[in-house]
Amino acid sequence: MLKTAGWLLPAIVALVGCSSSGARHGQTLSQALAAIGHDKALAGASSGVMVRDADSGNLLYQAHADRRLVPASNMKMFTSLAAFDILGADYRFATRLLTTGKQRGDTLQGDLYLQGSGDPTLHPDDLDTFAAALAQRGIRHIQGRMLLDTSAFDKTPFGAGWSWDDEPFAFAAPISALNYAFTPGGDINVVRVDVLPGARAGAPGRASFYPANDSVTLVNHTTTGGDTALTLERRPGSNRIVVSGTIAAQAETSSRLTTVDQPAFVVGALLQNALRAHGITLRGGIEEAVTPAGAQLLAEKTSPSLSRLIVTFLKVSNNGYGEILTKAMGHKTQGKGDWASGLRAISHFVQNQGIEAGAYRQVDGSGLSRMNQITPQQLTTLLLAARKQPWFADWYHALPVAGEPELLVGGTLRNRMEKSAAAGRAHAKSGSMTGVSSLSGYVDSATGRPLVFAIISNNYLVPGAEVKALEDRLVETLAACDATVICR
C-alpha cells in the first residue's frame, strides 16, 4: 500500500497508455492517479475514490471507497434516480384555481382556492394567466376569500441540518406546496432587490423589488454617493427586507436575490396583484384551507415533465428542486408530502439497487445538509444500476457535460476540463460546500471504454478550486488513458 497526503492507494499493475493530463506514457493507472493523491491540497483531508468499468462493473481503481463522507450535491444522484423510478419521466406538477362558489353576473359568490402540488416552475406570468381566465369568464368581483391549499406538503420549509445563516440565500430557499420561480436558473421563492442611484449625491437610492407583492415589505436605507456597498437583511420569520448602504452616483442597477418567508402567501399575494391588474376585486383576505371535494376547476397550470425538470435540477444544481421532488415522492408512495416519507421512498429504491439501508445516511433531497453521509462505492453502484433503467437516456442527458459552455448543457462543469481529453466526454455531477467537494459520473477512456467514477473529499483547508482541480485531473487522466486491463 502507498500512503499519500490524501488517498491510500492500492498497488495496481495494469499498464495504461496515457497521452495527456500530466500522466506519462506507460504509467500504470495507479501511478497516474497516485500523483494526484499526493497533492498537498489533500493533506489532513478525508477522501475516497472509486473507478469501475461501466459495462462489467469490475473495479479498476479504489482508495478508501467505503469511507462515508459528506457528499454535498452528489446527494442529488440518489434523489434524481429515485425520482425517475418512483414518479416517472413524464411526471408533472399541477397548480389549480378552483371555487365552491357560483357566478352571478360579474360576481363570483364564494371563495377561490389555489391548490398547489409543489410545482417549482410556477411563474408570476402563470398567475396572471389565472387572473385573465377569470376575467374572460366576465368575473369582476369575488365575494369571498382567496384560500391557499398547501396540503400536498407538510409545513416544514427547510431540510434537517441546514445552516441557519444560509436562510437568506437563494440556494437555501424554503419550500412549500405553492412555490414560484422567475430566474433562468429556476431559483424559487426569492425576490430580486434592485437599487439605482438617486438624482444627486446624498439623496436616497431608488430601491424596488421583483416580483412586487403585498406580502413583502422593502425598507430603503440607501444613500447615493461614494462606492457601491449595499447590504440586505431579512430576519427569519419576516418578509420585511431592509436594504442599506451606499450606491455610487453613476452606478448601474445593483441587484441581489433574497429568499422570502412563507412562500405560499407570497404566491397568494402575486395572484391578488394579478386580479387587480385585470380589474377584479377580492373582498376577503388570503388564508389557508384544504380544497373541498367537488370544487369547480377554473384554471390549471402543469409543469414541464420530470425529464425536463431534472435538467435544471442536475445541471444547475437547484436545491429547491431536490426537496420538492423528495416530498413529491413521499406524497405519491405514502400520501404524505414530508421529508420522512420521501426519504423512505428514496431508501426503498436505493436498497433495490444493492445498497444496504444502514450503510448510508440521507436527510434531505439536495445535499445541502452536512448530516448526509455516503461513500464513493455507493455512488458507483448507483451509476452502474442507472445504465440498466429504461429512462437512463433522459437522466444521463441531464448530467453536466465537461467543458460545454452552454448553461443547460455544461451546467456546473461548463468551465471545467475545457480543451482536455475529458471535454464533451465526461458527464458528471459536482458538489460543493465549505470543506466539501465531490464529483461522480461517467467518462469514456481513450479507446472509448465507458467508465464510472466517484470522488468525495472532506475537511480540506485550501480553497475549493484547488481540490476541484484535482478532481478534474483524475477525470482527464481516465479520459486520456487506455484502461484495457482490469485492475484489482
Catalytic status, residue 208: no
Spatial distance between the Cα atoms of 196 and 21, rounded to a whole number of angstroms: 47
Catalytic status, residue 317: yes
Residues whose CB falls within 8 Å of the CB of residue 188, separated by 6 or more in sequence, listed in order: 120, 173, 175, 179, 180, 181, 263, 318, 320
CA separation (Å) from 159 to 111, 190, 326, 364? 33, 17, 11, 6
Return the DSSP state at 432: E
DSSP H helices, 206-283, are 263-277
Catalytic residue among 21, 47, 76, 438: 76
Nearest 10 degrees: CA dihedral of 318, 323, 327, 328?
0
Catalytic residue among 176, 317, 369, 440: 317
Helix (H, G, I), strand (E, B) or coil at 110: coil
Residue 109 parent element (H or E): strand 107-109
Catalytic residue among 21, 30, 73, 366: 73
**141-142 vs 146-149, strand pairing mode:** unpaired
CA separation (Å) from 301 to 292, 370, 433? 19, 35, 35
Produce one character per residue of 398-421: b if its CB has 16 or more CB atoms within 10 Å, e if not. bbbbbbbeeeebbbbbbebbbebb
Instruction: Give ∠ CA 484-486-487 in degrees, rounded to 5.
Output: 120
Spatial distance between the Cα atoms of 219 and 200, rounded to a whole number of angstroms: 20
Strand order in the sheet with 286-288: 286-288, 146-149, 112-115, 94-99, 296-302
Catalytic status, residue 445: no
User: Looking at the annotation, which residues are catalytic?
Assistant: 73, 76, 317
